[in-house]
Amino acid sequence: MFATSDDLPIIPCELARLGSGSAARSIFGGFAEMAPGTRTDGSDAVAGPLEGGVGWDLRLVVAVTAAGPKPMGSTAAMAHTARTSPYYAAWVAGVAEDLTAARAAIAARDLRALGAIAERSALRMHASALAADPGIIYWNPATLAAIDGVRRLRDGGTPVFFTIDAGPHVKALCAAADAGKVAGALGALPGVLRTQIAAPGPGAHQVPQP
């Protein structure tokens, strides 16, 4: 992936979108939003930066709960869910409201509000996949243990919230000051292979060759 530099033109995130939605969002630093697009080929489903989140010192603590490839790739799984799940349309129908609330939470730097939205959307996505025919189950016992671990940390006073993409790993959103505590707690859970702490990056850029 490429971005801008003093001697490079802008390479639009449409190019990265050919790889994945995640790649398109990763072009920008901080927070980014993916447009839904209206074209049948998906070419206008591209990302853009959200300026309100620039400099917000958050962390994602990733609890790795499995090794090896997923049983079904994300693209195939979402296509199957869209075709066969009775809950898919309801999940999609709630996205606009969630996005509006998430933008407001980012602008206000309200971690609790943003975390609640992330958890709700993730659970609804997985509920939709579970209800597909046949159902898609990405979670394993360690996934459930990590979800419970995040909730127990929150009940104990640490503002931390989980999200889970199309896979078994749990990502815990928290303040930078709490990342070490969260990583230690999740890493000690049975079945969690390791934890990684990720920070907001500067966006894609050219790496000079040695």
Predicted structure pTM score: 0.86
Q: Which residues pair with 195 in a beta bridge?
A: 63
Same domain as 182, residue 111: yes
Q: Say how far apart CA 154 and CA 157 lie, in whole Å.
A: 5
The answer to the question of residue 207 being in a domain is no
Same domain as 68, residue 50: no
CA 128 from centre of chain: 17
pLDDT tens, residue by residue, 9-54: 445 677 777 767 777 777 788 888 888 888 877 777 888 888 877 8
What is the phi/psi pair of residue 49, to 5°?
Answer: -75, 150
pLDDT tens, residue by residue, 71-95: 888 889 999 999 999 999 999 999 9
CA 162 from centre of chain: 10
Q: Say how far apart CA 197 and CA 14 lie, in whole Å.
A: 28
The answer to the question of residue 114 being in a domain is yes
Same domain as 41, residue 5: yes
Q: Say how far apart CA 26 and CA 13 lie, in whole Å.
A: 9
Q: Is 89 helix (H, G, I), strand (E, B) or coil?
A: helix
